[in-house]
Amino acid sequence: MWYLCVFYHRLLDYRRPEVQSLAELFGGPGAGDAVEWRMPENHHADSPFHLVRLPGDESLAAQIANRSLLVKGIYELWGHGATYEELEKAVREYPEERKLPYLTPESTFKIVVDSFGKVISFPEQNEIIKSLTYIPFKGRVNLKKPDHKFFVMETDDYGCNNGLPPVVQRTTFFGREVGAADRHLLPTYQLKSRKYIGPTAMDAEMAFLMANQGLARPGKLVYDPFVGTGSILVAAAHFGAMTMGADIDIRVVRDGRGPDCNIWSNFEQYKLPEPLCVLRADNNVPPWRPGLKEIFDAIICDPPYGVRAGGRKSGGRKLIKGTVAPYTVPDEKRDSHIPSTAPYSLAECVHDLLHLAARMLVMGGRLVFFFPVVREDGVTNLAKYPEHPCFKLIATCEQILSMRYSRVLLTMVKVGPYTEVVEKAAQERHREFRENHHKWMEEGNLHSAVFSPAAGQAADGKPFIDRDSKPKYRGKYV
């Protein structure tokens, strides 16, 4: 059935993939691919109003909307039009048998007037509600807990200079709410009230979106190989998944900032089941037993890509550089020895991540991670995303972070089994990375691309900023 799906006007690239992932989660395998989209006539692609065809019955649509973060509401659309007259005509033509069950005398209802890109005053809202007398409401009004919620929504020609997607024509929608997002989660989980956070803790809304992309739910095992303060696993645990995490930095995973401020306390704070395991391990030299594979249902992570936090791998930076000859740690110092680590290039880090996922994800399991992309002159370069024979890329969602770079949330599904051929190829590549450590550290060094002076700088060293006084449509910046 087709519904009207209205989104919050933020994280535009993340909106449709989230709905599709949740369709897969609640509707079973293949349901995500069965979702179809259309834009209402004359609507810009970034408009919050989308028409969506969901498989299954209405309860699936409700489940999707209720679990999502970006769906403001999914509605059974009774009619729409450019004017209120057109709307009336459309609603009158909508089949009676679809309308009457929701208009019965014993039910309670509420009508909400909503708008996008404009404000409708209370008296105007009342006028609009009064104009709906052509709908035979028989039930009683209940504003607090109605059985049925009806929405009148309109978007007007508000001009094109207020930073919103341009509107070609005014549209008015009337629909019955099927489900809506529960964004109460966000104040509960916001980072500013979380006990233990680090410089790269994942924002709560994004962490929930990632957990949705990873299809986190009870009975599933989610792994984060760069767990840090656990912000992604908190979101996965909120949705009922079992969690495991690893990090190379023992101070973060074991010590935190004291006995009441560490990874475990973050889970305690929200009364969530704590992770099954947090271990200190290096993703470059993973400690998995031989023969172990296909155990995680999702791997969800934010790899260190060298802009805000640089990756480290074991092996000793001087040893890898070749500035010291191979040495052995004396036995009497072994217990207190702090292992030396070397910087970890993004390319190698991503390679190891894909290999880990190929081996450790179940078939159909999901790998969800951020990948950085450089931008020039405020435009994102067409990026080549990492590829792997075991994986199919199903969603790319860009979030613009600055004029110089974006991060893209990649969602991949494991479609091919982990075979000896795949394993051999990965070992070969691993050796190549180790032998050409320098070359890889220099290539694709994102840090310099992001922080080096821009070409557009003026002679006095002040950055050249194009200050346009009119607010422009900002697209994916929202």
Which residues form the interface with other proteins (CB under 8 A)?
218-221, 242, 244, 248, 250, 253-255, 264, 273-274, 276-282, 285-292, 294-295, 314-316, 319, 326-329, 334, 337, 339-341, 434
Which helix (H) or strand (E) element contains residue 371? strand 361-376
Based on CB atoms, which residue is closest to other proteins, 105 or 259? 259
As a three-state string, the secondary structure of 343-357 is EECHHHHHHHHHHHH
Distances (CA, A) of 49 to 54, 57, 110, 111, 115: 15, 21, 21, 19, 11
How far is residue 158's CA from residue 380's CA, in Å, rounded to a whole number? 28
318: helix, coil or strand? helix
Least Cβ distance, residue 280 to other proteins (angstroms): 5
Based on CB atoms, which residue is closest to other proteins, 337 or 384? 337
How far is residue 353's CA from residue 421's CA, in Å, rounded to a whole number? 17
Tokens of 251: 């101070």
Based on CB atoms, which residue is closest to other proteins, 246 or 400? 246
Contact (CB, 8 A) for 162 and 123:
no
How far is residue 384's CA from residue 368's CA, in Å, rounded to a whole number? 17
Least Cβ distance, residue 282 to other proteins (angstroms): 6
Based on CB atoms, which residue is closest to other proteins, 122 or 327? 327
Least Cβ distance, residue 262 to other proteins (angstroms): 9
Q: Which amino acid is at 275?
A: P
Based on CB atoms, which residue is closest to other proteins, 328 or 469? 328
Based on CB atoms, which residue is closest to other proteins, 245 or 386? 245
Least Cβ distance, residue 185 to other proteins (angstroms): 20
Based on CB atoms, which residue is closest to other proteins, 82 or 285? 285
Based on CB atoms, which residue is closest to other proteins, 92 or 424? 424
The residues, ordered by sequence, that sit 6+ positions from 206 with a Cβ below 8 Å of its Cβ are: 399, 409
Least Cβ distance, residue 236 to other proteins (angstroms): 14
How far is residue 362's CA from residue 295's CA, in Å, rounded to a whole number? 6
Based on CB atoms, which residue is closest to other proteins, 364 or 463? 364
How far is residue 359's CA from residue 362's CA, in Å, rounded to a whole number? 8
Per-residue DSSP letter, 251: I
Distances (CA, A) of 235 to 63, 274, 355, 401, 402: 18, 12, 24, 22, 26
Least Cβ distance, residue 403 to other proteins (angstroms): 38
Least Cβ distance, residue 300 to other proteins (angstroms): 17
Least Cβ distance, residue 225 to other proteins (angstroms): 12
> What does the angle CA 69 – CA 70 – CA 74 come to, to the nearest 5 degrees?
105
Residue 380 — φ and ψ, nearest 5°?
-75, 130
Query: For the stretch 411-449, what's the b/e string if a residue is b when 16 or more beta carbons lie within 10 angstroms of its beta carbon?
Result: bbbbeeebeeebeeebeeebeebeeebeebbeeeebeeb
Based on CB atoms, which residue is closest to other proteins, 256 or 306? 256
Least Cβ distance, residue 450 to other proteins (angstroms): 29
Least Cβ distance, residue 285 to other proteins (angstroms): 6
Q: Report the chain's terminal Cα–Cα distance, integer Å.
A: 30
